[in-house]
Structure 1
Amino acid sequence: MRPQTPPQAKSQAPLFQAVAWMTGTLLSFTLMAIAVRELSGEIHSFQIMLFRSIGALLILLPFALTMGRAIWRTNNLKLQFGRNFVHFAAQLGWITGIGLLPLAEVFAIEFTAPIWATILAVLFLGERLNRGRVVAVAFGFIGILIILRPGVAAIDHGTLAVLGAAVGFAMTLTITKYMTRTDAPIAILLYMSVIQLPMGIALSVFVWVTPDWLQLFWLFVVGAVGLSAHYCTAKALSMADQTIVVPMDFMRLPLIVAVGLLLYNETAQLPVLIGALIIFAGNYYSIHLENRRRKATGL
């Protein structure tokens, strides 16, 4: 007779799997930042976006061939185009920031995306602005003011590009949240690659530089890890509560601080770390209250 697995071990298995998937997310975002930084100044951001779509399509192609027409099923074709125009612009802002700002500052500003997503969800999806969300938004604005220090530190176009990217990512998240009610995540990823490919081609014509083998390697890394970051996060969220996933996502900051220091001799400024911590605290508090509310109502 085979020994039974203890119930506690069974309940912990999805948690460990979620941690493993989030580790994949952390590595994906970190590798993407390194790849973009290595390409900065040599390959234009338009061309990076083109190869990002090509790399993602090469990875998705086997799934498309296996699933056939089913993978193309969508009830929101107009939203697919709208989402990808916004996401394309947001990615360009993020890539611009990676080339101009310390990596830690880029990631810290990017953490404001959930704050903007909350505001957009209230305005356009009819979601309620409860106490937790008010705290998250308030902490988010305090955190970004500490990071940017308007009136004390100069706010250059790199900072504005990343801030615009965070708003764009929030818009993308809000649209995606609506679309996943009817569309499969893999369909959303496929449409993202297919729609953004001609956009990248059209813009790259004006700035084309034939990449060498090392640059081709980094360009493929951008495409591969850009896709894996989305997939790993989705898998982690399917296995564990946001109260587990969000703190792990915040670990991107100390990881990128270490990368910036070791590879590029960048030292993270204290206001950036403090501001990011305040933003995280507001987000975590909001998620914690939301989970308590769901458990209380049995949702």
Structure 2
Amino acid sequence: MLVIATLFFAWQDALTKHLVQTLPASQIVAVRFFFFALFALVYVGRGTDIKGGIAAAFRSQRPWLQIARGLLLSGEIIMFAYAIQFLGLAEMHTLFACFPLLITALSVPLLGESVGWRRWLAVMVGFIGTLIILRPDSGVFQPAALIALASALMFAVYNVLTRLVSRYDSFETSLLYLGVVGFAGAMLIAPFYWRPLAAAEAVWLLVISTTSIIGHLLLIKSLALAPAVILQPFNYFVLVWAIIIGFLLYGEVLSLTTLLGTGIVVGSGVFIARREYKLAAHSG
């Protein structure tokens, strides 16, 4: 289910790359979050057994953390959509693949977690792989790559805050806040750049919103069937799909140097996930 979810997410990004050539990134994200907020409201109101329904789910023990999560993800997706108009789909995902390494590094100061020397070494090796992908001294470096890395950092912080807030709030509360606050955050920017939609653009926006919802449903179901620490390595399949779709739709071909750097980053991330699984199994 998670592998299929990553396929939907990759198609969603491929369509975003197409749409962002004519539509503002903030408008695309605002429409996506509008439909995601509706999905969250329906899911919590009808699809769960939480007592009190939507009103109860909105009662958070850490509302400011929930608001920060929603604003972070909304801003991150806007930056992702903006950067992808300058970078290839596969290239964007090779840079974004460093976010699990950032999560590991941030979990120490923000969550107070302990990270052993093996995982710190994997993080450092992964960052070397990121530098190989960037090649800042090669003449092919693009400033948009820094936006991609900033987007990955924001997504990492969002994930760390999600871990933190899960100690206090239910999944339904986090889902609701994410949808509603994310939409509100996108609408802080979108009205200033809003433009009328052509019929084809409206259809593609609907397709993007639908793939996002299906992908999240599959993600939610996969997390209900297996622990996140086991599923984490399978998230890298989005990179595989991005490389294939980028080639088929946009004729993108990654250089051997980029593939080498990507392999180092992914290998480091898989090692960290495997190490965390072993530690979780041992403590359990």
* Superposition TM-score, scaled by structure 1 size: 0.86
One-letter amino acid matched to 1:93: M
Cα distance per residue 1:168-217 (max 9 Å; x no partner): 00000000001111222232222122112233233222211111222112
Please name the residue that 1:78 is paired with.
64
Please name the residue that 2:182 is paired with.
196
Please name the residue that 1:51 is paired with.
31
Residue 101 (1) aligns with residue 81 (2): no
One-letter amino acid matched to 2:21: G
Q: Residues 38 and 270 (structure 1 numbering): CA distance in 2 closer, same or farther, change over 3 Å? A: same
Unaligned runs of 5+ in 2: 47-52
Per-residue deviation at 1:154? 3.8
Q: Residues 296 and 189 (structure 1 numbering): CA distance in 2 closer, same or farther, change over 3 Å? A: closer
Q: Residues 215 and 274 (structure 1 numbering): CA distance in 2 closer, same or farther, change over 3 Å? A: same
Please name the residue that 1:208 is paired with.
194
Cα distance per residue 1:20-50 (max 9 Å; x no partner): x113321221121122012022110010111
Check conservation: 1:38, 1:218, Cα contact below 8 A. Answer: no
Please name the residue that 1:273 is paired with.
259
Check conservation: 1:112, 1:166, Cα contact below 8 A. Answer: yes
Per-residue deviation at 1:272? 2.0
Check conservation: 1:132, 1:285, Cα contact below 8 A. Answer: no
CA–CA distance in structure 1, aligned partners of residues 23 and 274 of structure 2:
42
- Which of residues 7, 15, 19 in structure 2 aligns to 1:39? 19
3-state SS of the aligned residue for 1:151? coil
Please name the residue that 1:232 is paired with.
218
Cα distance per residue 1:103-136 (max 9 Å; x no partner): 1111111111111111111012111121332132
Check conservation: 1:80, 1:188, Cα contact below 8 A. Answer: yes
Q: Which runs of 4+ in 1 moved over 4 A?
A: 241-244
Q: What is the RMSD computed on CA atoms of the aligned residues?
A: 2.0
Unaligned runs of 5+ in 1: 1-20
Aligned residues: 278
CA–CA distance in structure 2, aligned partners of residues 78 and 241 of structure 1:
27
CA–CA distance in structure 2, aligned partners of residues 221 and 170 of structure 1:
27
**Identity among equivalent pairs (%):** 26
Q: Residues 136 and 239 (structure 1 numbering): CA distance in 2 closer, same or farther, change over 3 Å? A: farther
Pairing 1:129-140 to 2, within 5 Å after superposition: 129-140=115-126
Larger Rg: 1
One-letter amino acid matched to 2:178: M
CA–CA distance in structure 2, aligned partners of residues 64 and 246 of structure 1:
25
Check conservation: 2:96, 2:149, Cα contact below 8 A. Answer: yes
CA–CA distance in structure 2, aligned partners of residues 162 and 37 of structure 1:
13
